[in-house]
Amino acid sequence: MKAEHKEASLEAQAKETKQHEEIEKELEFSSLYRWQHWIRALSIVILIATGFYIAMPVIAPSVSSQPDNFMYALFRSWHQIFGFVLTAAIIFKTYLFLMAREHEMERSSLRDLFDIKVWLQQVGYYLFMTKHPKLRGVYNPVQFAAYIFFYILMFVLILTGLVLYVHVYHEGLGGVLFDLMRWFEVLMGGLANVREIHHIAMWGVIIFVLAHVYMAVFNAVFGEEGAMDAIFSGFKWHKKH
Amino acid sequence: MNFKEKDTTYDSLYASFEERIKKLQKLPRLKEDTSIEEVIKEHGFSRRDFMKWASAATAMLALPANFTPLMAEAIKVADRLPIIWLHMAECTGCTEALLRSANPSIDSLIFDYISLEYQETIMTAVGWQAEQNLEHAIEKYKGRYILMVEGGIPAGDSSHYLTIGGHGKHGEQISIDASEHAAAIFAIGTCSSFGGVQAAAPNPTNAQALSKVVDKPVINVPGCPPGEKNIVGTLMHYLLYGTLPALDVFNRPKWAYRLRIHDLCERRGHFDAGEFVEHFGDEGAKDGYCLYKVGCKGPYTFNNCSKQKFNQGTSWPIQVGFGCMGCSEPDFWDTMGTVNEPLRDRLYHTAFGGLGADATADRIGIGLLTATAVGIAAHAAIAAVKPPKK
Amino acid sequence: MNEDNTITEEVSHTENTAEETLPSGPKRVVVDPITRIEGHLRAEVIVGDDGIVQDAFVSSTLFRGLEIIAKGRDPRNVPLLMQRICGVCTYSHYLKSTMSMEDALGITIPYNAALVRSLMDTALFLHDHPVHFYQLHGLDWVDITSALKADPAKASKLAFKYADNPVGTGENDLIKVQETVKKFAEHPQGLGPFANAYWGHSTYRFTPEQNLIALSHYLKALEMQRLVAQMMAIFGGKQPHPQSLVIGGVTCIMDMLDPARMAEFMVKFKEMANFINNAYYADVVMAAEMYQHEPSVMQPISVKNFMAGDGILVGRNDYILSKGMILDGDISKVLDIDEDLITEEATHSWYQTDEALHPYDANSEPDHSKGYVDGESVGPDGKMIHSKNIDPNGKYSWIKSPRYDGKPMEVGPLASILISYAKGNKRVVPIVDEFLNKTGLPLSALFTTLGRTAARMLQAKVIANHGLEAFYSLVENLKTDEESCAIYTIDNDKEYKGRGIGEVPRGMLTHWTRIKDGVVSNYQATVPSTWNAGPIDANGVKGPYETNLIGLKIADLSQPLEIIRIVHSFDPCIACAVQVMDVRGNKISEYKVDPLYGGVCSV
Ligand code: HEM
Ligand code: HEM
Ligand code: NFV
Ligand code: SF4
Ligand code: SF4
Ligand code: F3S
Ligand SMILES: [Mg+2]
């Protein structure tokens, strides 16, 4: 497809939208779904920021004669709070994905995941060589694989995060999980390795987010259904049939 | 046993200690004519001194004060347990640490009470006579002696890297033979607990932890070297607990290795406040700020150094402003990164066929991120001129 | 049947007396393990029918490969790793390795740091030498069983002959010592760690009273070593393996600036100095008196080349111990050491080198394929038994053979004292002269096993008497200067090389390092015990341990106490001695040689 052709078609599309009101709204994401997306997104951003500080505390607190300025503890505390928020969100989303009826369209993407033809076409699409494939579910296989990769990272982060956590706080949940988490600690070869894995997984997340946001924008610009705002508004748009 | 459960098990613990001491009392004594109380009295200590010592030992093992009389009983049966100490691939630092032990003092350990049957650094016999001592001790005290091993063990095809004795017996075989009839086995130091310095990458001699070489339970007392109190304390601990698994996930006695250096650190307040030594010798260093940014590995290291300190409580690595390097953790030479930098700056020197020489997680991360960003930019640029097909 | 019958007459705690006689002709005696040392060591001698050692071989039986492990690591991690070469001279490798990094990176450390390091060094020497003399070497000279027969009152008086203020020799003290040991001796188990030794051996020379005095000091030394270790811990956090040196200086600034801490160091130093002067010195004087006619320790040594490094900085460019070299026992000349002439070879060491190669071209891969060979030797009961033996024509040790200009050298306190003495070192000369006066021995008596043992004490005494000068220099300097650590950067694009050199308890130690891409690309340590304990070189020349054993007369082949006494006089540290050499195409001459303390304290 030629560039000018595309531009023309976009223009036409826009015109259509404004003038003919031929487009119908479809609820793609429920509000719960959108909330958890943004809660997750916010947690991740905060966890990355506080995580970097925990790894290398670059800001020093202002000098105070009173011992009441526990800056590092505060950062750690926010890290833990959002760590648990994220943990909850991830578990919740995992549950939805596996169980909820509304998420059948996500699960049906699995079939495309194992379909080599769809894969080839999708990759071809991203490489400007083929058309976008017809999908059985909501996620294309590249996207789905990326999400799987992301969830693996999440569970690694949660697991390593919890191992770190039981040594930070010995009461409550920390106490309850203590023995179990130490077992994982041995599996990973000691706490230093746990911390290292936690840190490396963070980099995986950072790279995912960057690519993810780009893809979101890419799809918004070139995709047919304006997925970008769906995650804000819940609706996607397509032509009336 | 996790942190909470501990309180509720004290009663049953007390009962099991009592039972164990009774059992030990039935064993024949090595020294017919003397008891620890006599020995201590001969040294000019009163019974009160002895009980004070027992109460300190009780506290050291993190037991409640009402266990003190049991501790006193326990030490009285210590003479039923002869000790055999083997040297494998080591630096003798652990023996040196044992020699620094003051509580009970090493002189009383050697001369008055506990029977050190074989210890190459201090025993007088040499050569064949030394070997005879070892054989006799194993034979005579079958099932009763405590085996303490210092050093990693060149194992398998590499076992020839250590031979001892006129018959050129390999260290690995000596360890296996001596462990056969031991009542308990202690790996003293990080070398015998986890392989230690010679097992650091690329481990040229295939040095292994004692527990990898013998197929009997091993109590690890790591540290490079472990504090003198951890060595002696583990013995006390054994007298009371026997083979009860009061051990952590790396088979270290919980009384000593339950918490991190970081949990018990005198500089912890500065850590939580975010007050860090930025470089050695700066104003923060003079004020005792936290050493995290100059590489302290206390957050990843389980040991009681801040509580017991070294050399009769003189000091410990964090007190002298260096920070912990993680010396009681498995493979700490390879997992703890650069000693004067936080862990995130760990070098991957051996990874990627040497390409990881100056790579850290952050540098690799930034590298991958940059690559991703470049890829995205390229993709976006192409997309701008050549949009995807519909 | 033959003269070997005499060997069974000695008192033996093995309770085995040789009914049969040994075959005539040269016999092999294997001593393995040699206990009361650091590390794993074997000595093997071939003895004629006259009981005289015809040939001797010394073999180390453990390989660890730490220099291989150092490669590819961050330069800041390597000094701590190198420290684990040895837990006895625990500070030596840490210090010299740190200095090698500083030399490479061109760092000048603050004067305060240099002085604190020096104080820690005094703590090392004051620990290491007495522990060696009493706990490791002492029972080669002292017969515990004889001490039991002593009259404590007489012994108590006798102690004043050797010291103005004797330590631990009050009559009551001595009675207590005797009782303690008696209990051991009467005990069904025997002597615990002292069991099955060569008690009653004909070459023990002390009277029962003298034995009792020394035994009391043996026990006292156990206490004192704990105290002197605390000195190290004040600035090092712990001993063994202190942890307060970093590239650029020291970390113990809080302790340096704490007057109570400093006073604690000084008080302990003085207490230890008192023990050295009134117990250690006294006992060596006593040994000199009683052993000067015992041939096994008075045989003149034959490697008369000595080499020593600087030791213990006490002021700006002022060291207590002098460096240099003496050849052929000629103390009229002290030569400068040309480090280019140091070589190491592995002709008889278990590394893959068949011919004598320049060490820098040598292949460091270990090769233990031959190991020991099957043979016979004199067993514990005086009969020939099967054993694994050294093959003198093959490789037989993990230690290499360092040479200076092709010559074997002895390093250690004897070398250090001789060189300082020959140089007219004002702190050393009076102490040596006083000792020779007091014992009536000529200077030449120092060139013996007894002399080697005495020199170690003399070095300790020199440090005990003068080490606090470093302390006063530090106190003075701290008044105007609180610097404790230099700041530096390691440029990943640059290549660095450097070395740390100086005297440590067992002699001159050098660590050589190369840094490339920000990590250590090559590492090498040239270690005192390697110089002394190495095997035969390509020219068939032996090192100090082996030559010292030749010519020795052994009274009882199944109780080779004389061998032990000689080997122990070197204070073997075998973990130190086993060093890989892997500096292919990497000449020592390329390293910058700085006349100062490894170039780091150019102050
Ligand atoms: C420009 C902003 C963004 C847009 C338009 C956007 C859009 C979307 C859409 C359409 C999906 C697929 C629907 C879904 O499965 O939930 C999604 C999934 C996801 N987004 Fe975003 N996103 C944005 C930013 C972010 C940010 C900043 C993060 C994280 C820091 C993030 C994390 C995720 C995650 C983890 C998923 C996971 C897949 C899942 O659990 O379903 N998103 N996003
Ligand atoms: C996107 C998710 C997360 C990111 C990016 C992240 C990042 C980080 C980073 C970079 C560190 C410092 C590690 C280092 O020293 O190198 C850290 C530490 C830590 N994280 Fe996370 N983390 C995440 C999730 C979690 C979760 C789910 C938990 C679970 C509660 C958690 C708990 C912790 C704890 C306890 C520490 C150690 C704090 C301390 O030792 O003082 N993190 N995290
Ligand atoms: N040889 C040797 Fe050492 C010393 N002194 C070190 O360099 O003993 Ni362990
Ligand atoms: S654990 Fe450390 S101190 Fe102990 S022998 Fe090993 S290296 Fe030496
Ligand atoms: S000095 Fe080390 S152990 Fe202590 S608080 Fe700081 S990081 Fe934790
Ligand atoms: S380095 Fe070792 S000695 Fe203690 S403070 Fe750390 S565990
Ligand atoms: Mg070397």
The domain segmentation of chain A, as residue ranges, is 2-239
C573 assigned to active site: yes
A48 lines ligand 2 (CB under 6 A): yes
Judged against a pLDDT cut of 70, whether residue C14 lies above it is answered with: no
C38 assigned to active site: yes
- Residues from chain B that touch C244, judged by Cβ atoms under 8 A, are 317, 320-322
Higher-confidence residue of A31 and C148: namely C148
Ligand 1 atom with least separation from CA of A232: 5
Ligand in nearest proximity to the CA of B264: 5
C529 assigned to active site: yes
* Residue A174 neighbours by CB under 8 Å, 6+ apart: A165, A166, A167, A168
Q: Which of C244, C322, C529, C558 is catalytic?
A: C529
Distance between CA atoms of residues B190 and B211, nearest Å: 12
A86 lines ligand 2 (CB under 6 A): yes
- Cβ burial of C424 (10 Å; 0-12, 13-18, 19+) is exposed
User: Residue C302: pLDDT band by 50, 70, 90 thresholds?
Assistant: confident
Calculate how far, in angstroms, residue C529's C-alpha sits from the geometric centre of ligand 3. 6
Q: What is chain C's Cα-based Rg?
A: 24
A40 lines ligand 2 (CB under 6 A): no
Topology (CATH level 3) of domain B258-385 = Cytochrome-c3 Hydrogenase; Chain A, domain 2 (4.10.480)
Ligand in nearest proximity to the CA of C83: 4
Judged against a pLDDT cut of 70, whether residue A124 lies above it is answered with: yes
Ligand 5 atom with least separation from CA of B266: 4
Tokens of C433: 């002269």
A9 touches chain B (CB under 8 A): yes
DSSP string, C517-559: TTEEEEEEEE-HHHHHH----TTS---HHHHHHTT-B-S-TTS
* Residue C532 neighbours by CB under 8 Å, 6+ apart: C410, C411, C412, C506, C507, C543, C544, C545, C570, C572, C577
Residue nearest to atom 2 of ligand 6 (CA): B327
What is the pLDDT at residue B348? 66
Residue nearest to atom 8 of ligand 5 (CA): B262
Q: Which of C44, C252, C565, C573 is catalytic?
A: C573
Instruction: Tell me the domain boundaries of chain B.
Output: 3-256, 258-385
Interface of C with B in 163-202 (CB under 8 A): 176, 179-181, 183-184, 186-189, 191-198
Name which of C158, C41, C324, C485 is nearest B164 in CA terms: C41
- With contact defined as beta carbons under 8 Å apart, do C226 and B312 qualify? yes
- The runs of H, that is alpha helices, within chain B are 5-8, 10-26, 36-42, 47-60, 68-76, 93-99, 106-107, 127-140, 171-180, 189-194, 210-213, 228-241, 254-257, 268-273, 283-286, 305-308, 332-335, 361-385
Distance between CA atoms of residues A207 and A212, nearest Å: 8
φ, ψ of residue C196 in degrees (nearest 5): 65, 30
Out of A129, A185, A200, whose CB is closest to B249?
A: A185
Instruction: Please name the residue of chain C whose CA is at the shortest distance from the CA of residue B286.
Output: C254
C528 lines ligand 3 (CB under 6 A): yes
B307 touches chain C (CB under 8 A): no
- With contact defined as beta carbons under 8 Å apart, do B390 and A131 qualify? yes
Q: What is the pLDDT along chain B (390 residues), one digit of tens a residue?
A: 444 455 557 888 898 899 988 888 888 777 666 677 777 777 677 788 788 888 888 888 888 999 998 888 888 787 778 899 999 999 999 999 998 887 666 666 666 667 788 999 999 999 999 999 999 999 999 998 999 999 999 999 999 999 999 999 999 999 999 999 999 999 999 999 999 999 999 999 999 999 999 999 999 999 999 998 899 888 888 888 887 668 999 999 999 999 999 999 999 999 998 999 999 999 999 999 999 999 999 999 999 999 999 999 999 999 999 999 999 999 999 999 899 999 877 766 555 554 555 567 787 788 888 888 888 888 888 888 877 776
Topology (CATH level 3) of domain A2-239 = Fumarate Reductase Cytochrome B subunit (1.20.950)
Distance between CA atoms of residues C185 and C146, nearest Å: 11
- Please state whether beta strands B153-154 and B207-208 pair in parallel, antiparallel, or not at all (unpaired): antiparallel
Of A141-145, C100-104, C308-312, C440-444, the range with the lowest mean pLDDT is: A141-145
Name which of C586, C576, C583 is nearest C64 in CA terms: C576
pLDDT digits (tens, 9 = 90+) for C55-93: 999 999 999 989 889 988 999 999 999 999 999 999 999
What is the pLDDT at residue C251? 98
Calculate how far, in angstroms, residue C93's C-alpha sits from the geometric centre of ligand 3. 8
Distance between CA atoms of residues B97 and C241, nearest Å: 10
Distance between CA atoms of residues B185 and A66, nearest Å: 50
Contact check, Cβ <8 Å, C229/B100? yes
Calculate how far, in angstroms, residue A216's C-alpha sits from the geometric centre of ligand 1. 8
C344 assigned to active site: no
3-state DSSP assignment of residue C222: helix
Higher-confidence residue of B349 and C24: namely C24
C86 lines ligand 3 (CB under 6 A): yes
Q: Which of C44, C60, C67, C86 is catalytic?
A: C86
Compute the mean pLDDT over every residue in chain C, rounded to the nearest whole number: 89
Out of B326, B368, B387, whose CB is closest to A207?
A: B368
Q: In this structure, how many other beta carbons lie within 10 angstroms of the beta carbon of residue B32?
A: 9
Inter-chain contacts counted by CB atoms under 8 A, chains A and B: 150
A185 touches chain B (CB under 8 A): yes
What is the pLDDT at residue C312? 97
pTM summary value: 0.90
- Residues from chain C that touch B91, judged by Cβ atoms under 8 A, are 38, 84-88, 575
B131 lines ligand 4 (CB under 6 A): no
Distance between CA atoms of residues C328 and A156, nearest Å: 69
Angle at A232 between CA A229 and CA A238, to 5 degrees: 35
Q: C412: domain CATH number?
A: 1.10.645.10
Contact check, Cβ <8 Å, A191/B260? yes
- With contact defined as beta carbons under 8 Å apart, do C70 and B212 qualify? no
Chain A closest-CA separation from residue B357 CA (Å): 17
What is the pLDDT at residue C353? 67
Inter-chain contacts counted by CB atoms under 8 A, chains B and C: 329
Question: Number of structural domains, chain C?
Answer: 1
Identify the CATH homologous superfamily for domain B3-256: NADH:ubiquinone oxidoreductase-like, 20kDa subunit (3.40.50.700)
A162 lines ligand 2 (CB under 6 A): yes
3-state DSSP assignment of residue C147: helix
3-state DSSP assignment of residue B389: strand
- Residues from chain A that touch B388, judged by Cβ atoms under 8 A, are 1, 125-126, 128, 132, 222
- C245, containing H or E segment: strand C245-246
What length is written for chain C? 603
3-state DSSP assignment of residue B152: strand
Judged against a pLDDT cut of 60, whether residue C288 lies above it is answered with: yes
Contact check, Cβ <8 Å, C33/B165? yes
B317 lines ligand 6 (CB under 6 A): yes
Higher-confidence residue of B360 and C320: namely C320
- Cβ burial of C260 (10 Å; 0-12, 13-18, 19+) is exposed
Q: Confirm whether the ipTM is greater than 0.85.
A: yes
What is the pLDDT at residue B202? 92
Of A1-15, A202-216, B16-30, C374-388, the range with the lowest mean pLDDT is: A1-15
Interface of C with B in 367-396 (CB under 8 A): 368, 371-372, 377, 379-380, 386-388
Contact check, Cβ <8 Å, C240/B280? no
The DSSP 8-state label assigned to residue C597 in this structure reads S
User: Residue A106: pLDDT band by 50, 70, 90 thresholds?
Assistant: confident
Chain B closest-CA separation from residue A137 CA (Å): 18
Positive or negative: CA dihedral B219, B223, B225, B228: negative
Name which of B293, B319, B291, B290 is nearest B306 in CA terms: B319
Name which of B363, C180, B149 is nearest A199 in CA terms: B363
User: Residue C596: pLDDT band by 50, 70, 90 thresholds?
Assistant: very low
- The runs of H, that is alpha helices, within C65-190 are 66-70, 78-83, 92-105, 111-131, 144-147, 152-162, 171-186
Name which of B261, B249, B247, B348 is nearest B303 in CA terms: B261
Residue nearest to atom 1 of ligand 3 (CA): C529
Higher-confidence residue of C15 and C311: namely C311
What is the pLDDT at residue A9? 47
- Cβ burial of B247 (10 Å; 0-12, 13-18, 19+) is buried
- With contact defined as beta carbons under 8 Å apart, do C56 and C70 qualify? no
In one letter, which amino acid is A210?
A: L
Higher-confidence residue of C508 and A219: namely C508
Contact check, Cβ <8 Å, B379/A218? yes
3-state DSSP assignment of residue B154: strand
Ligand in nearest proximity to the CA of C527: 3
B301 touches chain C (CB under 8 A): no
Find tokens 């020294």 and name the residue.
B31
Which contacts (CB < 8 Å, 24+ apart) does range B131-136 have? B131/B165, B131/B166, B131/C33, B131/C380, B132/C14, B132/C196, B132/C380, B133/C195, B133/C196, B134/B84, B134/B178
A48 touches chain B (CB under 8 A): no
Q: In this structure, how many other beta carbons lie within 10 angstroms of the beta carbon of residue C470?
A: 25
- With contact defined as beta carbons under 8 Å apart, do B314 and C230 qualify? yes
Distance between CA atoms of residues C180 and C216, nearest Å: 10
**Could you tell me the end-to-end alpha-carbon distance of chain A, in angstroms, rounded to an integer?**
24
User: Residue A64: pLDDT band by 50, 70, 90 thresholds?
Assistant: low
What is the pLDDT at residue C143? 94
Percent of chain C with pLDDT over 90: 77
- With contact defined as beta carbons under 8 Å apart, do C96 and C500 qualify? yes
> Strand pairing partners for B319?
none
Judged against a pLDDT cut of 90, whether residue C187 lies above it is answered with: no
Tokens of C468: 């606090």
- Residues from chain B that touch C483, judged by Cβ atoms under 8 A, are 281
Judged against a pLDDT cut of 80, whether residue A236 lies above it is answered with: no
C156 assigned to active site: no
Contact check, Cβ <8 Å, A189/B335? yes
Distance between CA atoms of residues C13 and C144, nearest Å: 13
Calculate how far, in angstroms, residue C108's C-alpha sits from the geometric centre of ligand 1. 55
- Residues from chain B that touch C388, judged by Cβ atoms under 8 A, are 163, 166-168
C145 touches chain B (CB under 8 A): no
- Residues from chain C that touch B350, judged by Cβ atoms under 8 A, are 72
Positive or negative: CA dihedral B344, B350, B354, B357: positive
In one letter, which amino acid is C530?
A: T
Instruction: Please name the residue of chain A whose CA is at the shortest distance from the CA of residue B344.
Output: A55
Reply yes or no: is the peptide bond before residue C240 cis, omega within 30 of 0: yes
The DSSP 8-state label assigned to residue C307 in this structure reads E
In one letter, which amino acid is B327?
A: C
Compute the mean pLDDT over every residue in chain A, rounded to the nearest whole number: 81
- Please state whether beta strands B169-170 and B163-164 pair in parallel, antiparallel, or not at all (unpaired): antiparallel
Ligand 6 atom with least separation from CA of B327: 2
Chain B closest-CA separation from residue A16 CA (Å): 17
Higher-confidence residue of C596 and C265: namely C265
